[in-house]
Amino acid sequence: MPKVTIDGISIEVPDGTTILQAARMIGERDKADRHVVPPAMCYYTSLKTSGGYCRTCIVKVTKGSDKDPRPMPKPVASCRTAVMDGMEVANTTDPTLIDARNGVVEMLLINHPLDCPICDQAGECHLQDLSYENGKAASRYEFERRTFDPIDIGDTIKLHMTRCILCYRCVKVAEQLTDGRVHGVINRGDVAEISTYISQAIENDFSGNMIDVCPVGALTDKTFRFASRVWFTKPVDAHRNCENPKCSGNVVLWLKGNEVLRVTGRKDQWGEVESFICNTCRFDKKDVHAWTVEGPRKIDRHSVISQGHYQLKREQPLLASPAPNVPELAKRKELKDR
C-alpha cells in the first residue's frame, strides 16, 4: 500500500488511489484535517472518466515518490493523478499553488453571471462555495459576459447554459446512466455549450440525475414547486420501494410543512450523491405519504448553505482608471470573427 503525505499528513492507500481520493480519506479519518482536500468541480467518483477539466483540484507534487523523488514541474490535477509510494503533496501549504488555484477560480468566474441572489442553486452551489473560499470574484473582467437564453429540455429540466462551467458531468451521466444520450457539448473554445443542438427533450428514466451532479445552477428541476430558497426548506431523508431495479429509492425530500417541494438524491460530505435515483421518484412522487421518512437530513458539507450566507464575496476592482470606451470595440468585434 503506497503511502502519501498531503500538507504534512500521511496516509496509506490502496494502489491506484488518486491524490484527491487519498485527501478525502484523510478528511474522513479526522474532520480537523479536511483542509487537505482539494476542491473538485468536475470529478465525480461514480462517473467514469470524469475529472481533469476544471483544474480547481490542482495540487503541487513536491516529491514524486521514494523511487523518484523529483518534484513534478507543473501543478497536477489531483483527481486524475494516482499516488506513488512516498509521494509528497502540497494543497494548502504552498503559496504558489494557492495563487495558481485562485487563478483557476477567477477564470471559472469571468464569464459566470453574478446573479447568485436570483439563482435557484444559490445556497447549494459548489462554485459559490469555491469562490467564497478561494479568491476574489471576477472583479477584473470588464467585458461583456457570455450569455445564453435559458431553455427547457423537456417538462422536468431547465438548462441555464449561462451558468454552466462545462464540467462534463451531465454528459457522463447521460452516457453512463441513460440508454440514449441526446445532449452533449457543441462548438469549441469559449463558445462551447451544453446543448441538444436541435430542440429536443431529454427523456429518460435517469436523466434527472443530471440535476444532482451539476455543480452550479445550470441544470435545474422545473418541478421544484416554489422558487423557494433552499435554506427555507427542511430536508429529510426518506425512501420508498421503487419499482425500478436500478433505483435505490433513497432520497432527500425538501419539505415545507408537509409539502414536498422537491426530491433529490442524497449527497455525501463531498457533494456527491450516494446513489442515483429514477425520474419517477424525483419528479412524480410529490406526496409525502408516498415515502417513509427516516428523519432530518444532516447537511455535513462545509458550504454556504450550512453557513447561511449566499452572496458572493466581492472585492473592489483592482484597476483604478475608468473603463475604456467599448462600443467601438463591440462594433469591430461584430465585423470580424464570423
Partner 1 sequence: MARKLLFEHIDKPGIRGLEGYRANGGYRSVEKALRTMSPDAVLEEVKKSGLRGRGGAGFPTGMKWSFLAKPEGVPRYLVVNADESEPGTFKDRYLMERIPHILVEGMITSSFALGAKTSYVYVRGEYFYVARILEQAIAEARAAGWLGKNILGSGFDHDIHVQVGAGAYICGEETALLESLEGKRGNPRIKPPFPAVKGLYDCPTVVNNVETIAAVVPIVNDGGEEYAKIGIGKSTGTKLISAGGNIKRPGVYEIDLGITCDEFINSDEYCGGVDGRAFKAVVPGGSSVPIVPYELFLKTPTGENRLMTYESLSEGGFAQGTMMGSGGFYAYNDAQCIVRSTWNHARFYHHESCGQCSPCREGTGWLDKVLERLEHGEGRMEDIDLLWDIQRKIEGNTICPLGDAAAWPVASAIRHFRDEFEYHVTHREKVKDPKHFAREPFRKSAKFATA
Partner 2 sequence: MSARTRPITTTEGTKPFAFSETALAECRELIARYPEGRSKSALIPILHIAQAENDGWLSVNAMDAVAHLMGLRHIEVYEVASFYSMFNLHPVGTYVLDVCRTTPCMLRGSDELIHHLEKKLGIHAGETTKDGMFTLKAVECLGSCGSGPMLQCGAGYHEDLTIEKVDALIEELRARNQRTNYTDR
Binding site for partner 1 (CB under 8 A): 51-56, 58, 73-75, 77, 80, 100, 103-104, 106-108, 110-111, 140-141, 143, 165-166, 185, 187-192, 318-321, 324-326, 328-329, 332-333
Indicate the SS3 state at residue 82: strand
In the range 188-207, which residues lie near partner 2 by CB under 8 A? 188-191, 195-199
Separation of alpha carbons 311 and 198, rounded Å? 35
Separation of alpha carbons 77 and 59, rounded Å? 7
Q: Tell me the three cell numbers of residue 145.
A: 459576459
- Torsion from C-alpha of 67, 69, 74, 77, nearest 10 degrees: 50
In the range 78-137, which residues lie near ligand FES by CB under 6 A? 79
Under the criterion CB under 8 A, does residue 180 sit at the interface with partner 2? yes
Question: For ligand SF4, which is the closer residue by CB, 13 or 210?
Answer: 210
CB of 179 to partner 1, least distance (A): 20
Question: For ligand SF4, which is the closer residue by CB, 126 or 285?
Answer: 126
Separation of alpha carbons 330 and 299, rounded Å? 46
DSSP β-bridge partners for residue 193 = 186
Indicate the SS3 state at residue 117: helix
Select from 36-44, 68-76, 211-219, 327-335 the region that touches partner 2 (CB under 8 A).
327-335
With CB cut-offs between 5 and 8 Å by kind, which of partner 2, partner 1, ligand SF4, none does residue 149 bind? none
6, 135, 159, 266 from 35: Cα distances, Å: 10, 16, 33, 23
Question: For ligand FES, which is the closer residue by CB, 51 or 208?
Answer: 51
Q: Sign of the CA dihedral 53, 58, 60, 66?
A: negative
* Given 185, 242, 290, 299, the residue binding partner 2 (CB under 8 A): 185
In this structure, how many other beta carbons lie within 10 angstroms of the beta carbon of residue 114?
13
Question: For partner 1, which is the closer residue by CB, 25 or 166?
Answer: 166
Q: How many residues appear in the chain?
A: 338
In the range 29-58, which residues lie near ligand FES by CB under 6 A? 40-43, 51-57
Draw the binding track, 175-214, toward ligand SF4 (x: CB under 6 A; -: no contact): -------------------x------------------xx
With CB cut-offs between 5 and 8 Å by kind, which of ligand SF4, partner 2, partner 1, none does residue 338 bind? partner 2
Separation of alpha carbons 276 and 265, rounded Å? 6
103, 142, 143, 323, 338 from 333: Cα distances, Å: 26, 15, 12, 17, 9
In the range 59-78, which residues lie near ligand FES by CB under 6 A? 77
Residues 6+ apart with CB under 8 A from 199: 151
CB of 140 to ligand FES, least distance (A): 23
Under the criterion CB under 8 A, does residue 182 sit at the interface with partner 2? yes
Under the criterion CB under 8 A, does residue 338 sit at the interface with partner 2? yes
Q: How many residues bind ligand SF4 (CB under 6 A)?
A: 14
Under the criterion CB under 6 A, does residue 109 sit at the interface with ligand SF4? no
Under the criterion CB under 8 A, does residue 181 sit at the interface with partner 2? yes
| Half-sphere exposure (Cβ direction) of 55: Cα atoms closer than 13 Å | 14
Separation of alpha carbons 149 and 8, rounded Å? 47
Reduced to 3 DSSP states, what percent helix, strand and coil does the chain have, rounded to the nearest 5? Answer: 25, 20, 55
Select from 105-113, 159-167, 251-259, 290-298 the region that touches ligand SF4 (CB under 6 A).
159-167
Under the criterion CB under 6 A, does residue 170 sit at the interface with ligand SF4? yes
- Note the residues at the interface with ligand SF4 (CB under 6 A): 164-170, 194, 213-216, 218-219
- Note the residues at the interface with ligand FES (CB under 6 A): 40-43, 51-57, 77, 79
- Note the residues at the interface with partner 2 (CB under 8 A): 180-191, 195-199, 333-338
